[in-house]
Amino acid sequence: MLKLPSDFILGGATAAYQAEGATKEGGKGPVAWDEFLEKQGRFSPDPASDFYHQYPEDIKLCKKFGINGIRLSIAWTRIFPNGSGEVNQEGVDFYHDVFAECQKHNVVPFVTLHHFDTPKELFDKGDFLNRETLEAFVDYAEFCFNEFTEVKNWSTFNEIYPVATNQYLLGVFPPSIKSDFTKIIQCLHNMMVAHAMTVNLFKENNYPGEIGVVHSLETKYPASDSEEDRHACFLDDALSVRFLLDATYLGYYSEKTMLALDEICQANGAKYEFLDSDFEIMKKASTRNDYLGINHYQCHFVKAYDGETMIHHNGTGDKGTSVYKVKGIGERIYKEGLKRTDWDWLIYPEGMYDILIRIKQDYPDYNKIYITENGMGYKDEFDDGIIMDKPRMEYLKVYLEAISKAITDGVNVKGYFLWSLMDLFSWTNGYNKRYGLFYVDFETQKRYPKESAYWYKLVSETKTIV
């Protein structure tokens, strides 16, 4: 049986908008998602898991089940309801209370400043396409660094690539724009500049603790050995993985990245604007990241494709309905013989191992890595308080084994945050795609440990992947 290091953190991950609920309570300001979801009418972000009121219970459950880290995000609009300006003391107090509870139970908080929830006021002015938002984000971060001195682990952003593509390629996040590569690339770049500005501020003011960024890094493989498929794979990887890692650890975009970017832009009639001053900021920050957070759930096999963009997002759990063909990049295919979830996410733990090894090889100054999200969306069956989630346990086991192997092969991975601590609200899937170690009855808000929670406890206590 494979082992994990004795000081390895085995945590659970959440995000403010997906866990807290109470979107109109405690003086919280609006985010674009409120209106978007209301108009869509499919599902509501309230009550989610009601973490806003249930956090003492959730943190107690962490302690009870050997979960010694919790990843959570601060809702920017609980602190600054309009994105900047006046502070909402009730929101500040709420997070102090949460962190105090963490401390009481020896659960280390890993805090993300932005997890898909830009304040509505800034969002309506262009979100991160507008440089005003970058400034406002840094001010908000500075406020948090000064205020929440009990927090020692900070992440600037959660998943910059999915922000850019869900907002401006798939259109499944507000403002629901499709196939606008000018916006995609500018959003990726601007958020990386905002990340770098924040890291520089953190380091120049000598705040105690560590800072990093959380990227969604899904390994890409060519669908076949043909030159065309290998090229499509190169393009897909360049935009979704290499671009962000270059920005984070080099402070510029390498020649390979720029080649791919220009090809994608040409095919899609897109352009971008990167300022020299941006690169100065990024370069300075590139050696200052204390850690890299990796969210990794699946990988993609990419095939050459020369048609128009056609995407269908499987947000219902109807297996086999996903379509992902992108003009100027390629097509993501189902690889025969590989298992996938009901939402068509490929289960391929080699992808986890390969991305970890690649970071060590290509970006040797990465310092250390936390797996900040990994887990399996599943239609759990609730049987009189008992939830047997074998497929999730099998998924977690093979992914943890891949991490253990990467550690043995020299990658410095310090912890793992399972997505998700408890069942949560999922942005584009609502409430039937459950990920939690704890089943949440969303009507009563009662928590029930799933079979996987007991298994995770054993792994955490023995550091053995049983």
Give the interface with ligand BGP as residue ranges (CB under 6 A): 15, 18, 158-159, 162, 216, 295, 373, 377, 419, 426-429, 433
For tokens 């025969």, the residue is: 336
280 as an active site residue: the answer is: no
Which lies closer to ligand BGP via its Cβ, residue 145 or residue 419? 419
What is the rounded distance in angstroms from the CA atom of residue 377 to the CA atom of residue 33?
Answer: 21
Which lies closer to ligand BGP via its Cβ, residue 324 or residue 427? 427
The active-site residue, picked from 25, 142, 373, 461, is 373
CB of 380 to ligand BGP, least distance (A): 14
Q: Among positive and negative, which fits the CA dihedral 65, 7, 213, 159? A: negative
What is the rounded distance in angstroms from the CA atom of residue 256 to the CA atom of residue 219?
Answer: 17
Angle formed by the axes of helices 181-204 and 131-147, to 10°? 30
CB of 301 to ligand BGP, least distance (A): 20
- H-helix segments, 41-130: 51-64, 76-79, 89-104, 120-124
CB of 375 to ligand BGP, least distance (A): 8
Which lies closer to ligand BGP via its Cβ, residue 48 or residue 92? 48
What is the rounded distance in angstroms from the CA atom of residue 80 to the CA atom of residue 88?
Answer: 6
Terminal alpha carbon distance of the chain: 6
Which lies closer to ligand BGP via its Cβ, residue 84 or residue 158? 158
Which lies closer to ligand BGP via its Cβ, residue 253 or residue 439? 439
CB of 166 to ligand BGP, least distance (A): 9
What is the rounded distance in angstroms from the CA atom of residue 166 to the CA atom of residue 429?
Answer: 13
Residue nearest to ligand BGP according to CB distances in the complex = 426
Q: Is there a contact between 88 and 27 (Cβ–Cβ < 8 Å)?
A: yes
CB of 408 to ligand BGP, least distance (A): 27
Which lies closer to ligand BGP via its Cβ, residue 34 or residue 159? 159
How many residues are recorded in the chain? 466
Q: Among positive and negative, which fits the CA dihedral 449, 450, 456, 462? A: positive
Residue 277 neighbours by CB distance under 10 Å = 9
Burial class of residue 320 in the structure, from the number of CB atoms within 10 Å of its CB (0-12 exposed, 13-18 middle, 19+ buried): exposed
What is the rounded distance in angstroms from the CA atom of residue 50 to the CA atom of residue 40?
Answer: 22
CB of 17 to ligand BGP, least distance (A): 8
Q: What is the largest CA-CA distance in the chain?
A: 61
Which lies closer to ligand BGP via its Cβ, residue 270 or residue 421? 421
CB of 279 to ligand BGP, least distance (A): 28
What is the rounded distance in angstroms from the CA atom of residue 406 to the CA atom of residue 411?
Answer: 6
What are the residue numbers of the active site?
A: 373
